[in-house]
Amino acid sequence: MASTSRQPQVELADAFEEIAPSASTSGRSRVPVKKMPYDVFINHRGPDVKYTVATTLHNTLSVLGFRVFLDSEELEMRDFLPGEIEEAMRSPSLHIAIFSQNYAQSPWCLAELSFIFKTGKQIVPIFYHVQPDDVRYAKGVYADALSQHKNKGRYTSKKLEEWKNALNNVSYNAGYIINNKEDEERLLKNIVNCVLKVIKNVPLVVAKHPVGLNEVVIDFERTRLQSAEGHCTVQFVGIWGMGGSGKTSLAKQLYNNKYKNMERCSFLLDAGSKNILYQKQKKLLRGLGLKDVSVDNIEEGKGILGSRLKSVQVLIVLDDVDKVDQLDALVPKKDNLGCGSLIIVTTRELQVLRSWGISSIYKMKALDSPHAKQLFCCHAFLQPSPLPDFEDLVKNFLYVCKGLPCL
């Protein structure tokens, strides 16, 4: 996944100068009140497509686990504050621009498109009841809309050329033409598949009952992760502990916290399973987005991991490793990785980490009594406290398990 930190830094004010839209001209009367990373941003004119293709796409992708920005879902009524929408446009790996009949009438839509285009992020166009040439060469309703903007004298010639340039360039991207309801139903699956190909990484399901996990994550990041600010770091960190101590849950949450800022990432569950090592290498490479490679033996896999990830910022999590040769086969050499790369290894075998040279090791601790009790009760009684008459039994169990109720 592309790192947002390496994209060209486009100033929001440059794209939105002179723009102060009202609901009647743009369909944008609301702005986000919270900043969070999104996977997909849908650029559209609300009155044309809000309750048809835009909402259908939003709902379909949301069910699949993607975070999709669509203003009817993400915004609430308040004053126009364009700065608050910046992160919603910067963070996604993919943008979808829905060009409709009245799209170019909205200066806000055109400013959004111009801003996104300048970031260099991928934009998939949908031509909704308009033809690509109308968008590409500013013909028909698009010519009329741009002429109206010019005649109002509100926008400079430079701004109008900027909008036309964005329309022209984006219209050449591979996209979809929807002329009727049948097209919309037929192409929806293709559009969703396109998103799936571009954005493979979605948050992992961490744990059914993540009791006490936040505190552990904070402690891990405070004590084991170095700050990459100001210098290049490639970090190898081990998570060591008994079975049931929460190693995998911690690793999953760390992955979810970090993957959006990495160029490529992969979480290899059960890295210590009985599969042949080069098969694990293939699975790891697929997770890193390298699906076009063939691996027939371990040494070939090592070479591919080294060459194809040269200078790439990666996040790799290897879960439940139990032998040194697994790390030899699955971890690229430090010198081959890009600045900011992070490799996390979970294991029950402390000596595996030490033998391979991983010195930064986080030891999983037993839960304190209140958290251990809550976690056990969530599993046993589907509630955070014991059922009546079970207090003594729970107390005895927790004494025996020593803070590891899932052991």
| Cα of 334 vs its chain's centroid, Å | 25
Question: Alpha-carbon distance 77 to 33, whole Å?
Answer: 9
Q: What is the pLDDT of residues 316-347, one digit of tens each?
A: 999 999 999 999 999 888 888 888 899 999 99
Lowest mean pLDDT among 14-28, 195-209, 214-228: 14-28
182 is catalytic: no
* Residue 62, pLDDT above cutoff 70: yes
- What is the β-pairing status of strands 264-268 and 122-128? unpaired
- ∠ Cα 344 331 220 (to 5°): 10
* Residue 100, pLDDT above cutoff 90: yes
Question: Alpha-carbon distance 319 to 266, whole Å?
Answer: 11
Q: What are the structure tokens assigned to 118, written together?
A: 């300048």
Q: What is the pLDDT of residues 293-309, one digit of tens each?
A: 778 888 888 888 888 77
- What is the β-pairing status of strands 122-128 and 94-99? parallel
Question: Alpha-carbon distance 191 to 176, whole Å?
Answer: 8
Q: Taking residues 159-165, report their average pLDDT.
A: 95
pLDDT at 81: 45
- ∠ Cα 403 404 406 (to 5°): 145
Q: What is the pLDDT of residues 348-389, one digit of tens each?
A: 999 999 999 999 999 998 888 888 888 889 888 888 888 988
SS (H, E, C) 54-97: HHHHHHHHHHCCCCEECHHHHCEECCCCHHHHHHHHHCCCEEEE
Long-range contacts, 217-221 (Cβ 8 Å, 24+): 217/250, 217/253, 217/254, 217/257, 220/250, 220/254, 220/362, 221/254, 221/257
Q: Is residue 34 left, alpha or beta, with left meaning phi > 0 and alpha meaning psi from -120 to 50?
A: beta
Question: Alpha-carbon distance 188 to 57, whole Å?
Answer: 7
Question: Alpha-carbon distance 248 to 319, whole Å?
Answer: 7
* Residue 12, pLDDT above cutoff 60: yes
- End-to-end C-alpha distance for the chain, whole angstroms: 35
Do 258 and 225 touch, CB atoms closer than 8 A?
no
Closest to 4 in 3D by CA, of 90, 66, 84, 67: 90
Number of H helices, E strands in the chain: 19, 12
Q: What is the pLDDT of residues 258-293, one digit of tens each?
A: 887 787 788 998 887 666 788 888 888 877 766 657
The residue type found at 190 is: N
| Cα of 314 vs its chain's centroid, Å | 14
Active-site residue (options: 112, 162, 184, 263) = 112
Question: Alpha-carbon distance 114 to 10, whole Å?
Answer: 10
122 phi, psi to nearest 5 deg: -70, 135
Q: Is the pTM of this model over 0.75?
A: no
Question: Alpha-carbon distance 85 to 118, whole Å?
Answer: 16
Q: What are the structure tokens assigned to 219, written together?
A: 């402690």
Which DSSP string do the residues of 195-247 spell out, in sequence order?
HHHH----PPP--SS-TTHHHHHHHHHHHHPPP-TTS---EEEEEE--TTSSH
What lies within 8 Å, CB to CB, of 382 at 6+ separation is: none
Burial of 197 per CB tally in 10 Å (0-12, 13-18, 19+): exposed
Do 138 and 171 touch, CB atoms closer than 8 A?
no
Per-chain mean pLDDT for the chain: 82
